[in-house]
Amino acid sequence: MKKILAVILTITTLGLHAAVINVKDYGAKGDGKADDTTAMQTAIEKASARNSGGVLYIPSGSYRITKTLVVNKAMGLIVRGDGSLGHHSASPHPKASNSLLFWDGEKGGTLIKTEGTYGCTWEHLSFSGRRVASENRWKRDLPTAGILFNITTLPSFGDMIHTMSDLSFSHAEVGIQAGSADSPKVCNSDMYFQNVAFSMLNSGFKTTITQAVDYLFDFTFMAAVNTAFDIQEGGNLTSNNFQGTCVDLVLNIAGGGGTNGTFLFNQTRLECANGGIQHRHQLVRCNPSRFCANIKFISFTDAQWGWFKNKQDNAKKYLCEIGPNTMLSFENSIFHGPVIDIEGSPKGNAYAIFRECAFRFITPKTPFKYNNYGFYKTFECFVEKGALENKSQWPKNLIEE
């Protein structure tokens, strides 16, 4: 504990006396035309010299990057711009003041990669997988980056305790990814994300190693994202105030585990174009590879209010699909259409609990689907025509006497 406190004190002290490195002093143009890769990398290395606690300043502009920018073993580094595009990252205002780094290298490349960094701050910046152009901003088949921000580790060097604030990520395969195939699978954890926007991505936030754990998101906006939180390994994620517009799937869990399997969402809203008349978005798919995953939503709003008009086959999709060794619970939430498919197996049961929730456009028999290993309970819930009788489809050996 004393060692951790000493490191935190060192980072704080260095931050107060940090030298400011301006990328334009190292040759970066920020005009959207010049290749700023070399100038940006040189400035990064100067600011992130080990234990320097430097400040890297990226003035307003569009910085063309053609090779991966690497931040190696930085401690207490602050990377600061003049503003992000926020939720307008797919269609920016031409006069907006922002600091944009965009990928113009080989398709599928990585824009930024951190290696063994600690206690760093990234704020007021935008990252794009390609040059943002208003006439083609919604086309997904154009060349894009693979990963915009890849957080990785080195042998004996975790990558952790970061703060990321007022950032936007757009037009790539992945916005932020914790872990990579070629880095050690250790301590990629303890990160705080505030006011971060994601758009035009396959995955917004993705984890790929078991020690990718302990993430806090405050006010997250995602639009036109296939999977918002893609947890292939690891877990322990908390989200406060999430807005998803045209997000195909909010939470996908393939990881989980006895020490990293908790997920808490407070105030979550999922909506889509035309209220879901033509498309059905999903909230959760969970099939943990390890025991177990425990997921809770408080004040969730299913804003797909047009579900009852949807004549497409996708209207039959359940909002949530959970597999063995999963517990999913909701409080004070509103649903439109089929709610959950609970599919346990001999390897483990699956459970769902609903407290003080409202169900629209359905009868009391249609919200839930379950097999012989799937169980659910409802408490003080209601449908449009009145109160819903408390229901319990629960294994007898788990019912309290």
Tell me the per-residue pLDDT of 92-130, one tens digit each, with 9 for 90 and over.
444 557 999 999 999 999 999 999 999 999 999 999 998
Give the domain-ending residue among 148, 165, 186.
186
Q: Tell me the mean pLDDT in the region 204-209.
A: 94
Residues 149 and 242 in one domain: no
Residues 382 and 255 in one domain: yes
Confidence of residue 398 (pLDDT cuts 50, 70, 90): low
Most confident listed range (147-156, 194-203, 285-294, 390-399): 194-203
- 220 domain residue, yes or no: no
The more confident residue out of 189 and 69 is: 69
Please report the pLDDT score of residue 258 as a whole number.
Answer: 80
What's the pLDDT tens digit per position in 213-260?
999 999 999 999 999 999 999 999 999 999 999 999 999 999 888 888
What's the pLDDT tens digit per position in 280-314?
889 999 999 888 999 999 999 998 876 666 666 66
* CA 293 – CA 257 distance, rounded (Å): 6
- pTM (predicted TM-score): 0.90
CATH number at residue 78: 2.160.20.10
Which amino acid, one-letter code, is at 387?
A: A
Residues 171 and 290 in one domain: no
- Whether the per-residue pLDDT at 20 is higher than 70: the answer is yes
Rg of the chain in Å (alpha carbons) = 22
- 400 domain residue, yes or no: yes
Residues 253 and 145 in one domain: no
Q: Tell me the mean pLDDT in the region 66-83.
A: 95
Confidence of residue 6 (pLDDT cuts 50, 70, 90): very low
Residues of the chain with pLDDT > 90, as a percent, come to 62
Residues 248 and 156 in one domain: no
Q: Tell me the mean pLDDT in the region 20-26.
A: 97
Confidence of residue 139 (pLDDT cuts 50, 70, 90): low
Residues 176 and 282 in one domain: no
* CA 205 – CA 221 distance, rounded (Å): 12
- 203 domain residue, yes or no: no
- Least reliable range by pLDDT among 51-55, 145-149, 270-274: 51-55
- 84 domain residue, yes or no: yes
Residue 401 · residue 377 · CB < 8 Å: no
Residues 23 and 168 in one domain: yes
Nearest one of 316, 201, 297 to 247, comparing CA atoms: 201
For residue 360, with 0-12 CB atoms within 10 Å meaning exposed, 13-18 middle and 19 or more buried, which class applies? middle
Residues 135 and 21 in one domain: yes
- 171 domain residue, yes or no: yes
Give the domain-ending residue among 129, 151, 186.
186
Residues 178 and 256 in one domain: no
Residues 116 and 248 in one domain: no
Q: Tell me the mean pLDDT in the region 259-274.
A: 90
Give the domain-ending residue among 161, 186, 211.
186
What's the pLDDT tens digit per position in 338-350?
899 999 999 999 9
How many structural domains are present in the chain? 2
Please report the pLDDT score of residue 401 as a whole number.
Answer: 39
- Whether the per-residue pLDDT at 25 is higher than 60: the answer is yes
- 169 domain residue, yes or no: yes
- 377 domain residue, yes or no: yes
Please report the pLDDT score of residue 50 as a whole number.
Answer: 58
Please report the pLDDT score of residue 210 as a whole number.
Answer: 85
Q: Tell me the mean pLDDT in the region 74-84.
A: 95
Q: Which domain holds residue 17?
A: 1-186
Residues 8 and 153 in one domain: yes
Residue 154 · residue 111 · CB < 8 Å: no
* CA 71 – CA 73 distance, rounded (Å): 7
Please report the pLDDT score of residue 389 as a whole number.
Answer: 80
Give, rounded to a whole angstrom, the gap between the first and last alpha carbons of the chain: 44
- 192 domain residue, yes or no: no
Residues 161 and 308 in one domain: no
Q: Tell me the mean pLDDT in the region 29-45.
A: 96
Please report the pLDDT score of residue 245 as a whole number.
Answer: 93
- Least reliable range by pLDDT among 12-21, 181-190, 291-300: 12-21
